[in-house]
Amino acid sequence: MNDTAFFTNGETYFFRDHGQFDLLRQRLLPELIERRRKTKILRLWSAGCSSGEEAYSLAMLVDTLLPKRDDWDILILGSDIDETALTKARHGRYKQWSFRMAPPSLKQCYFQRKGDEWTLDKRIRDMVTFRASNLIGETFPGAKLRDMDLILCRNVFIYFGAMAVAAVADKLAAALNEGGYLMTAHTELIGHRVRGLQSRLFAEGVVYQRAVSVSAVTKHAPSIIPNIPLEPGSFLPPCRGKARMGVELWNGNVSTPSLALPLQGGGDKTASTQSTPSAPSAQDLLASARAFADRGDYDQAGQVCSQALSIAPLAPEPHFLLAQLAQLKGDFEQARILLDKTIYLDPRCVAAHLELAALCERTENLPRAQTLRRAALEIVRALPGDAVIEPYETTAAEMARCLAQ
């Protein structure tokens, strides 16, 4: 395999990964908007946008978070190597498949139906600019691809070899403004150190931030990493415009996002999670560990997570969180041990299989990586096609397709 994309797939849909979109709506975009209130310039980029659902999801978020923006200069850029996908993106016409994980009333708020297609309102289409770009071949930062406040580059690195991942990640980092964010799909950059970026672990996953100057930190400290738990499953505020006021776009009939696997339900493992009424439960400690991790306090997160583990030594979730923390600290051997334990405790945990496979690839243990991916494929194939695989927010059918390739 060389270091360029050898195979690509344009799989995408609106608000893919609820957890990441919750994070964008409730923390990252409000912070960026606040930071840009003086200059009123905001630059967002969906790199590898395929047929546009991701870029338009960003536009809908901006529309709800910043309804009065006439005096703002806002760029929402969608780029892709695939011209056919970009043509589809510019048309803004989508079939039901693009809405498979979207809030039920999204269509009501922003789309017009014609036959079996839904056309996005021109008002939102006009917010997004599309352009062709090969992330590997194009040199940037350059005249256009520069000074970004937020870059989403999700489910794109999976098509690149290790050298291309490193080169593109470095270029994306350099195209960010100070304090700007890079969001990838889960685990895409784990194991890669990207120059100039700090990783921040939220319950919804890792986000990378370009270093902020001391003055900017002082000015924005309260809003940069606020310790407020996100409301799951409410990634857009009540719908305005066409739909009735007060109608929540997300009405809760789809599973809510969570980084963790559900706590084991049954048998000895459940018994081990019980605690006395006065003591914090393993679940409380795990939630608290995630809150520390959200704030970037990985040491404290690790300590509290270890306490959870002492109460519930057979629960897979603390092992999984500790493995993620170990990876963030660059302790890949410890991460490997913890992921092995997670799989031992929950042999059906797809995420642990895939993260461990990525670690094995990193250390060139390719046979083990292959075995783990095959095992993950068998697990997802045994699930109903529409089951959601956490924390990837992907259906079992979709993941099976990807893993089978």
Torsion sign over Cα 382, 161, 335, 312: negative
Strand order of the β-sheet with 117-120 is: 93-94, 117-120, 111-114
List the one residue out of 128, 126, 131, 173 whose CA is nearest residue 148.
Answer: 173
Least spacing, CB of residue 12 vs ligand SAM, in Å: 3
Whichever of 134 and 251 has its CB closer to ligand SAM, that residue is 134
Least spacing, CB of residue 162 vs ligand SAM, in Å: 15
**Of 5-13, 24-32, 324-332, 387-395, which part binds ligand SAM (CB under 6 A)?**
5-13
Least spacing, CB of residue 17 vs ligand SAM, in Å: 8
Torsion sign over Cα 11, 15, 18, 23: positive
State the Cα–Cα distance between residues 228 and 124, nearest whole angstrom.
30
> Tokens standing for 119?
């056309």
Judged by CB under 6 A, the chain residues 33 through 52 that form the site for ligand SAM are 48-50
Whichever of 12 and 105 has its CB closer to ligand SAM, that residue is 12
Judged by CB under 6 A, the chain residues 126 through 165 that form the site for ligand SAM are 133-136, 154-156, 159
Residue whose structure tokens are 């946008």: 49
DSSP-H helix ranges across 111-161 = 122-125
Whichever of 89 and 289 has its CB closer to ligand SAM, that residue is 89
171 near ligand SAM (CB under 6 A): no
60 near ligand SAM (CB under 6 A): no
CB atoms < 10 A from the CB of 150, how many? 22
State the Cα–Cα distance between residues 78 and 69, nearest whole angstrom.
20
Instruction: Tell me the per-residue interface mask from 62 to 91 with ligand SAM, x by CB under 6 A, - otherwise.
Output: ------------------xxx--x------
Least spacing, CB of residue 199 vs ligand SAM, in Å: 19
Least spacing, CB of residue 15 vs ligand SAM, in Å: 10
Task: Select the residue interacting with ligand SAM from 22, 31, 54, 390 (CB under 6 A).
Answer: 54
Least spacing, CB of residue 62 vs ligand SAM, in Å: 17
18 near ligand SAM (CB under 6 A): no
Whichever of 10 and 141 has its CB closer to ligand SAM, that residue is 10
Task: Select the residue interacting with ligand SAM from 3, 10, 247, 295 (CB under 6 A).
Answer: 10
List the one residue out of 177, 222, 223, 181 whose CA is nearest residue 205.
Answer: 181
**Under DSSP, is residue 257 helix (H, G, I), strand (E, B) or coil?**
coil
Whichever of 136 and 293 has its CB closer to ligand SAM, that residue is 136
Number of residues that bind ligand SAM (CB under 6 A): 23
> Could you give phi then psi for residue 66, rounded to 5 degrees?
-135, 70
Contacts of 130 (CB under 8 A, 6+ apart): 49, 52, 55, 77, 78, 79, 80, 86, 89, 90
Which residues of the chain form contacts with ligand SAM (CB under 6 A)? 5, 8-12, 16, 48-50, 54, 80-82, 85, 133-136, 154-156, 159
